Structure 1
Amino acid sequence: MKLVSWNVQWGRDAAGVVDLARTLREAQRLADFDVLCLQEITRGFHALPGGPGDDQFAELASLLPGYTILEAIGADLGADPAVSRDGKPSVRRQFGNALATRLPVANVFRHLLPWPADPTAPSMQRAALEAVLDAPGGALRVLVTHLEFYSERQRLAQVDALRGYQQEAAVHAAQPAPAENDAGPFARTTRPLSAIVCGDFNSAWGSAAYMRMLDPLAGSPAFIDAWVTLHPGATPPPTAGVYDTEQWSSGAMTCDFLFVTEDLRGRLAHCEIDGTTQASDHQPIVLELG
């Protein structure tokens, strides 16, 4: 199974030009992916730099025939009154994550991450999208997320939530609920133990949030960093601000990660951070499971 995780900044490249189709071509150049996990996909946010289209989730569906497109909205705001279509307000402004896959999809869970008040920093509601996939080698869960940028307090709370979802899934895997019937919403569900959690953590490598993600988990295998596991002793290259030095004037940093549960360690075949593409202010991560 091949997976690409990437904060694509609504298809905006390091020079400020928005072209989501170009972004997808870059992802396809990196890997013939089975799963594509994207952060910063928008709907209705025309005022963002570069002017993204009306509905980037629909764009993904059009540009990736044969893939199932899933979405999880974090920030969900009213329509921009300054933008109208045929005299009517534009669609709601939505900002979140997307997962595209050509693998069979079982259950899908959309988690709103904790958002504790922090009056010292701007912030927005954040989300994690969880999909149960029938992957080669066995069913697993893939979660794509994007943590808060400005508030460490919120990032730490969001990491704790991600860890909690894993512990909850471990209990579901060990004690699956009986089905009332398979025709209604109380149908048989699947929530396997094995998981991949990827995205923009807005937390530097070695930071408190990063280290907390790796702490032991009661009742579940712990998370490991896939890149670090396959490059023992090495420091991961920067994943943000490599080419866009205007937005990242304080310097490049490593803040995008791909964690897997410890039970997947033996299946890790390849994990690389691409340092060449300039199609976003972030660099993509490519994973292959054997």
Structure 2
Amino acid sequence: MKLVTWNTQWCRGLDGVVDPLRIVDGARAMADFDVLCLQEIAQGFDRMPGAPGDQPAQLQALLPGFRLFFGAAVDEFDADGRRQRFGNLIATRLPVARVQHHPLPWPADGDVSSMPRMCTVVTVRDPLLGPVRVMTTHLEYYSKPQRMAQAKALRALHMEACEQAAAPPKVEEDHSPFQAKLHTPHAILCGDFNLSAAEPEYAAIQEPLGGSRLHDAWLLVHGAVPHAPTFRLFDRTYGPEPMACDFAFVSDGLAPRVHRIEVDLRTQASDHQPVLVEL
């Protein structure tokens, strides 16, 4: 499995141009990906810089042979009654078994700006790895308490799925919503976490629970080599130094299968750099 994860800044490059094709081409330049996880995808926010338009529809047209699943963390209507949606998207050419959209905690923090956050989960069937839960997310930037609550919720989502895999519900072959579901402990959690590897939220995501944990794929491949920067590499609007805040975590069973992880340090198609993970 080859997976690319990228915070696209609604497909807006550092030149100010909104171009979904440039995002797809940039991801394809990294690998012939099986799964593409994108954060900051817009639909209906036409007054944002670059007038992004209906990006899920645009991306679907650019990805023939892929199925797309858009999880809107923000789903609202403006004063004129126009629907506006903003969130994460997973595109895959692998067979899909399940799709889940999980809102993440949004505790009150009145001192800063914030928005709702969520995690989209698509369970795919990989011919070599078997069933894998692909989870993508984008955590809060301005609020540290919210970010910690969201990090803990992601860990809890993974642990709950592992428990379901170990003790699945009673099977009901009645062609109703109670019918058997595909459960798996194998997962990839990726996205823009808006935190560095030195932050406590990073450790919270990987904290073991019930014998299971998530592992930073970068460390599995590169060991003590510092993470390659994924943010503020070219644009220093949000800070003086480049940093890594886009990660991929893998479950216990997938940890030995991580073959490669790398960052494109050249593209300026977004204010973040894309990350490739190969298992």
- Does the alignment reach a TM-score above 0.5? yes
Q: Which runs of 5+ in 1 are unaligned?
A: 82-88
Identify the residue that residue 287 of structure 1 maps to in structure 2: 277
Give the one of 121, 130, 133 matched to 1:130: 121
> Which whole-Å CA distance do the structure 2 matches of 1:129 and 1:80 have between them?
28
Deviation at 1:249, TM superposition (A): 4.3
> Which whole-Å CA distance do the structure 1 matches of 2:162 and 2:219 have between them?
24
Q: Does 1:5 align with 2:30?
A: no
> Which whole-Å CA distance do the structure 2 matches of 1:103 and 1:200 have between them?
23
Give the one of 95, 99, 102 matched to 2:90: 99
Identify the residue that residue 262 of structure 1 maps to in structure 2: 252
Deviations 1:57-100 (A, max 9, x none): 1111111010010111101121353xxxxxxx53x111100000
Amino acid at match of 2:222: H
> Which whole-Å CA distance do the structure 2 matches of 1:214 and 1:164 have between them?
11
Tell me: CA distance 1:191–1:265, structure 2 relative to 1, closer, same or farther (3 Å): same
Give the one of 228, 233, 236 matched to 1:242: 233
Deviations 1:150-183 (A, max 9, x none): 0010010001101111111111101111232252
Identify the residue that residue 62 of structure 1 maps to in structure 2: 61
> Which whole-Å CA distance do the structure 2 matches of 1:127 and 1:191 have between them?
21
Deviation at 1:241, TM superposition (A): 1.3
> Which whole-Å CA distance do the structure 2 matches of 1:148 and 1:58 have between them?
26
- SS state of the match for residue 139, structure 1? strand
Deviations 1:226-270 (A, max 9, x none): 01210011111211111223x334332211100001221210111
> Are 2:155 and 2:206, in contact at CA under 8 Å, matched by a contact in 1?
no
Give the one of 174, 181, 191 matched to 2:173: 181
TM-score by length of 1: 0.93
Identify the residue that residue 267 of structure 2 maps to in structure 1: 277
- Give identity over the alignment, percent: 45
Q: Does 1:200 align with 2:192?
A: yes
> Which whole-Å CA distance do the structure 2 matches of 1:266 and 1:255 have between them?
23
Identify the residue that residue 115 of structure 1 maps to in structure 2: 106
Deviation at 1:134, TM superposition (A): 0.2
Q: Kindly tell me the number of residue pairs found equivalent between the two proteins.
A: 278
Amino acid at match of 1:173: A
Amino acid at match of 1:264: L
Q: Does 1:45 align with 2:45?
A: yes
Amino acid at match of 1:79: D
Tell me: CA distance 1:76–1:283, structure 2 relative to 1, closer, same or farther (3 Å): same
> Which whole-Å CA distance do the structure 2 matches of 1:205 and 1:50 have between them?
32
TM-score by length of 2: 0.96
Identify the residue that residue 76 of structure 1 maps to in structure 2: 75
Deviations 1:98-151 (A, max 9, x none): 000000000111000000001111111101001111012211111000000000
Amino acid at match of 1:284: P
Of the structure 1 ranges 174-183 and 96-105, higher mean CA displacement relative to structure 2 is found in 174-183
Amino acid at match of 1:279: A
Q: Which runs of 5+ in 2 are unaligned?
A: none
Identify the residue that residue 22 of structure 1 maps to in structure 2: 22
Amino acid at match of 1:107: R
